[in-house]
Structure 1
Amino acid sequence: MTPRSAHITDLVERDHGLRVVELREYRSAHIKYRRQISDLRRLLLHRWGERIPATEAAFREVAYMLDLLALYDERDRLMDDFLRTHTAFDEITSRRLAVAALARAPRGHTTKRLGELMGLDWVTRRQLRLTNIEAVDKPPRDVLDALYRQEGAAYGRRKRAVDRLLPKPISEAKRLSADMFRRRVAAIYAVLDLGSWVPVSKLCNLIERKFRKNTPFIGVTASSMPRVIRKIAARDPGLLTELRQPPGRPDLRPQLWVTIRPKDANGYRRYFATRLAGFDADTASGLPRWFYSEFERGLREGCGLHRDDEELMRLARARRVELIGDQRAKT
């Protein structure tokens, strides 16, 4: 009997680990054998190369791998695949190793015991990122602390770099604020008609009558309502606001009026008609300035009309003549 075959035969009689039942009794049932097999395969290939040579030390370490593979129902196929793919053993040696592993089955190893059997050092464990095999040594505490600080700093840099590329999650406060904004915009659109200008004070009454206690403007005082409406109009392009003097009350402060921005030619014509109706004899002098303003020209152009539409121009002139007379309109 050659020394190699004697060594392989002797493997049957050796105690290479604990039975699975005993491992559970030692509270080691949490061992992930699938991950342990993956770590051990990685360690063997790192130590011996892609093809494990036929040496005494290699026989011993491959036997530990076969012990783990023998825990599964398809143990024969798993052991044959590993021996054929990763070892340079002859057929007789491979068969004897597999038979020895089956004779010892089921056997398992704790992470600490497997590290002792394999003689795994801390540097190799860290280099290969083995998590289910413990190392037999450990560096001093100050070296570990410095290393963990470096790893933490590197992880923080990587995480910040990834966070800059990903969309930031919306906080609960921002989500509630966005939801309240949508509810308020929907409430304004529900009570306004296209082209009708409504003062903020009347808008508050319309919303309260329509929504009762479910008004989205609950808690907003009458003095702060214009500020809230201006902020909403600044974020929603579908609303228009304008400061106007109360009709017939030049002694009062200007009020904020709100309307829905027209989106097409017919909508702008309705908006234009209601806007003309809002002029009176005191404000008729500002009608040409309003008609030829850049804002109104841009609004007409956005609705598909000419910036200086002749039909609308005739309506504006007729309204001015109606308010201040033909002679004053010509001057």
Structure 2
Amino acid sequence: MERNVSFPFNSTSLPTHFALVTADGINATVKPFSVFDGCDHQVEAILFDLTLQCINIVVGIPANLLVIAILIRNHKEPSTSDIYLGCLAFMDAYFGVMSPINLLNLYLWNSKGVWSAVKFSYGVKDTSGPLFLSCICLDRFVAVLFPIAFGQHKHVKYRISLSVVVLCLTFAYSGAKTVGGLPNFEKVFTGEVLATFIWMVVCNVSILWTLKRPRSSGKDEMHPMKKKAFKIVYSILCIIVFNYLPPVALFPFEDHYSPDVFRCYVQPTGFAFLNISSTTQPLVYLARLEKVPFLSDTCVKTCCIRVSAENKKKSPAQNSSV
């Protein structure tokens, strides 16, 4: 029988009962269902992932709900990327809500039905994050490098259509991940995250290079709007490198690891960095805001770890122009 080398939490196929069949066709022993699926004694990397998921529960869920509330509050003056940000925040909040259910199922319920629901949430996380971030990068890329085309396709219907396509891909991938049994299905995620990572890095580096170029007047000072766009793109690039570089660097070399090492150590470590993006993404968005509604400045500085020393030195006029 081919060995399943997928990570027990983000795995493609459900752990199943294995039966030993005697010569008379009678089942002799049955392996009990376990969500750890063979990694019961190699749990260090799994516990590392669960620790980061606890951060998603405590910090990520409130941060994503706050992002959604801010986007709804500002719906009369929306940014072109707001629909992508809203979908991303909703999916991250959903994934965070599923984390305590996953923990309870690991140590209390040990239910196959609950595990299927948890696997679906992992599929949503695997796909929605990279794809919606790619949409944001595409939006910024066209806005900076092709402003005329951006103005012609600025209507919200284009972004709604693209969001629907992303959601369909997300739910199709999540459904297939929940059902399981597809050969080499884990390579779909490896190909997806590798392609989106390259695309996002190329987009953001191109944008940063374009924004950094001096204006035709010869002045080195960057226009305030360009400076704001530069900060946004730079923050997205930091998220991409921190959260997506580990799986991109580890997963393509699956054949170089033993099955147990890849399943119990390499995959949980890579997915841990991907999963914590449910916290880093909303915090980076909130940190970019000059004023966060519903929260005091002290709370924002504490929760978002915002470095505001330079901003305090600036005049109010300077702050409003950035």
Q: TM-score range by the shorter chain?
A: under 0.3
Specify which structure has the higher proportion of helix. 2
Higher relative contact order (CA 8 A, sep 6+): 2
TM-score of the superposition, structure 1-length normalised?
Answer: 0.20
TM-score of the superposition, structure 2-length normalised?
Answer: 0.20
> Rg: which structure is higher?
1
